[in-house]
Amino acid sequence: MKTFRPLFTAPDPNWYRARNTVGREGTIPANYVQKREGVKSGGKLSLMPWFHGKITREQAERLLYPPETGLFLVRESTNYPGDYTLCVSCDGKVEHYRIIYHNGKLTIDEEEYFENLMQLVEHYTKDADGLCTRLIKPKVMEGTVAAQDEFSRSGWALNRKDLKLLQTIGKGEFGDVMVGDYRGTKVAVKCIKNDATAQAFIAEASVMTQLRHNNLVQLLGVIVEERGSLYIVTEYMAKGSLVDYLRSRGRTVLGGDCLLKFSLDVCEAMEYLEANNFVHRDLAARNVLVSEDNIAKVSDFGLTKEASSIQDTAKLPVKWTSPEALREKVQCFSTKSDVWSYGILLWEIYSFGRVPYPRIPLKEVVPRVEKGYKMDAPDGCPPAVYDLMKQCWTLDSASRPSFRMLREKLQHIRAKELYL
C-alpha cells in the first residue's frame, strides 16, 4: 500500500482512487493518505529547539524550574566564549556541564567526541554516560518549533530507510547534491551534514512546501536525522543547470523557439512567486534547471523570503542584483529586484550562457550601471526580446514591468513568431 499515490476521491469519501508506481489503479482507505500542507508554523523552525543561545547560568536555572529530572537545554558558555554549556535538571537542582571544542569536535569528558551539538544531545539522550541523568525532555526555546515535528505534522517528512543515495552529481560548500532513489523514483538529494548549515537550509525547505508550480523545482520531502544530517529531496532534473545546458549545446543546437520557451518557463515561475508575495533574490541561469523533456524550472530557494522581509545584502551576486539592492546595506527586497535579475537571465539565455557584462571589471559594473549603462543585445537576439531586457534594467524600480506583463509580452512575441 505504501507505493500507492492518491488521484481523487471515490464516490465513498472513506476511500480514494490511487495509482501505484507501475501504473495499476485501485482504491485505498482514506486514512492511508496524509494530506500535505505548507509548513506555516507560527514559530521559528529549529533543528535544535533546546538551544537557547546567549543566556546566563541564572537564566538557564530559571528556565529549568520547576525541577524535573532529565529536563535540559544547551546555551553558549558565558565563562568560555566559543564553548557551550549543557544544563540538566536532576534531583531538584541544575547541573552545568561545559562542552568544549577539541580538534574541531565537541566533548564533555574528553572521551566521547561529536561532530555537532545534535550528535552530542542524541548520545546523552540514550545513555547518561557519566552525566547525573540521561537527557529526557528538552526545554524548548520560546518561539521555536522542532523542525522534524513540523515537517511530520504537515506531511513532508520522508523515511530515511526508503531513500537510496546513488551517486554525487555536485559538491558545494554546504554539502553534496546526489542522485537518489526514493521508492523507485529517481530523485535529487541535497545532503547537508553540518548542524549550523542544516539549520539555514531548513528555511529553504519550509518555503518549498508552500510553493507548487510546474516551472518550480518540486520538493518531495525532507529527512531530518537526529545526528544532525538534513536531506532535502526534490524532483530529478536530468539535463542539469540552464547555464550549462546553454553553453554545451550552443546556437547550432538550440533555435530561437527553444530560447523563447525557456524565457517563458522562467517568467511563469516568477509570475507565480510574484502573485504569492515571494522574492527569490538569486535568480540566474545557474539556478534554473532543465528537465528531461526540456522544461526549465527555477530552483535554489535558499534566499527566497516573503516580500516583506528585510535582509542583509553582504553576499549578493553583483552582476545579477539590482542597483538599489546593492546600494543599501539593509534593503527591503521586492519583486522588482527579481525583475532586474530576470533581465540579466534573459541576456544569459540569448547569449548561450555567457557571463554578463563581458570585458568589464567587476568593480566597474555597479558605477557604470548606476550611470545608465545597459549591455548590448546578444548576437541574433530578437529586438523585441532585447527591448524587454532594457525595460527590466530601468533604474527606477517602480517603472519596471511586472512578471505578468513580461509573460504577456513574451507570449505575444512567441505567437507572432509562430504565425510568421
CATH of the domain at 365: 1.10.510.10
Grid coordinates belonging to 20: 501505484
Q: Which residue has the cell 554549556?
A: 85
Structural domain count, the chain: 3
In a domain, residue 17? The reply is no
Binding site feature residues for ATP? 190
Q: Is residue 209 part of a domain?
A: yes
Q: Is residue 319 in some structural domain?
A: yes
Question: End-to-end alpha-carbon separation of the chain, Å?
Answer: 52
| Structure confidence at residue 410 (pLDDT) | 97
Last residue of a domain, one of 235, 253, 274: 235
Within 10 angstroms of residue 29's Cβ, the number of other Cβ atoms is 10
Q: Mean pLDDT across the stretch 245-253?
A: 92
Asked if residue 20 belongs to a domain, the reply is no
User: CA gyration radius for the chain?
Assistant: 25
From 91, 149, 162, 282, active-site residue: 282
Say whether both 215 and 244 belong to one domain. Answer: no
Asked if 193 and 209 sit in the same domain, the reply is yes
The answer on 198 and 64 residing in a single domain is: no
The dihedrals phi and psi of 146, each to the nearest 5 degrees, come to -65, 125
Same domain, yes or no: 226 and 356: no
Rounded percentage of the chain residues whose pLDDT exceeds 70: 84
Burial per residue of 411-420, b for 16 or more beta-carbon CB atoms within 10 angstroms, e otherwise: eebbeeeeee
Segment 343-356 mean pLDDT: 98
The more confidently predicted of residues 330 and 93 is: 93
- Whether 109 is catalytic is no
pLDDT at 18: 62
Claim to verify: residue 155 and residue 262 sit in the same structural domain:
no
Span 115-142, average pLDDT: 93
Task: Quote the CA–CA distance of 350 and 7 in Å, as a whole number.
Answer: 40
Q: What pLDDT does residue 206 have?
A: 87
Assess whether pLDDT exceeds 80 at residue 56: yes
Pick from 51, 112, 110: nearest CA to 86: 51
Mean pLDDT of 319-340: 83
Band of residue 204 on the pLDDT scale cut at 50, 70, 90: confident
Determine the structural domain holding residue 369 and report its residue range.
240-416
Residues 23-54 have pLDDT tens digits of 566 666 655 555 677 776 555 888 889 999 99
pLDDT digits (tens, 9 = 90+) for 266-312: 999 999 999 999 999 899 999 999 999 999 999 986 545 544 443 44
We report the CATH number of the domain holding residue 170 as: 3.30.200.20
Bridge partners of 71? 137
pLDDT of 311 reads 47
Between CA 216 and CA 274 the distance in angstroms is: 13
Say which range, 59-68, 134-143, 324-333, 361-370, has the weakest mean pLDDT. Answer: 324-333
Lowest mean pLDDT among 13-27, 87-101, 174-188: 13-27
Evaluate whether residue 23 is within a structural domain.
no
Q: What is the mean pLDDT of the chain?
A: 86
